[in-house]
Amino acid sequence: MAKVRIEWVRLGALGGGGGAAVNQPLELFGAAEVLSVATAPVSVTAPAFTQGEPGVEGSAFARITGLSGAAHVAWGAAPASETTGWRVEAGGFALVPMKSGDGLSLVQALDPPSPVGSAAMRAVATSRAGVIAAAAAAQDLMAANPDRNGWLIQNQSAANLFVRSKGAAGTAVATADGQSLLVPPGGYYEPSKVTPHALSIIGLAAGQAFFAEEW
């Protein structure tokens, strides 16, 4: 539903000390009308007034102001439609030259549906939790994943764990020394930059538990 206000007005120029202001109301005819406009065209007829030639000084107009929604305004015999007339948005207005008894037709503008906003991306995490199978023996933590956006690990055991990227060749494995990332007991690690390569893990004792996820 749209709503518009229609005023019947004669416009012209008002002179002043520094110049003239054009399209100023010189005279109002009858009472203003407020119309609720739906999908079926509604008509309104201009009141009686003395009118000069359209387009000259002092011509009469219908001033249509959009109050809410949007409407199409047509004049003459044809009813307003989505493809005829002047579109008037809420807060906007249209000036239509009129003569006594002329008609206006208005219909609600069927706006296109609002664009569907893109939903925020949410990562779906896959568990990579597990335990160390054998002491001092490297094992795979995560397979290579070119679509990986992130990963994390928490050491839930009482001994150190070590994690290392296996590199592009996939041959480098974790070692329990300075060549691998140390995750101490209770420690947590989540990298700010993510490798797509496979990851390897090693522990000092069999059965060491760790929590891990990738997304």
CATH says 126-214 is which class?
Answer: mainly beta
Q: Residue 168 region, left (φ>0) first, then alpha (ψ -120 to 50), else beta?
A: alpha
CA dihedral of residues 149, 154, 160, 161 (deg, nearest 10): -30
Please tell me the pTM assigned to this model: 0.47
Domain with CATH 2.60.120 in the chain: 126-214
Predicted pLDDT at 76: 78
For residue 151, the Cα-to-chain-centroid distance in whole angstroms is 30
Sign of CA dihedral 168, 172, 176, 177: negative
Residue 183 reports pLDDT greater than 90: yes
The Cβ of residue 14 has, within 10 Å, a number of other Cβ atoms equal to 13
**CB half-sphere exposure, 56, CA atoms < 13 A:** 4
- Tell me what the mean pLDDT of segment 184-213 comes to: 96
Query: Higher confidence at residue 27 or residue 51?
Result: 27
pLDDT given for residue 64 in this prediction: 93
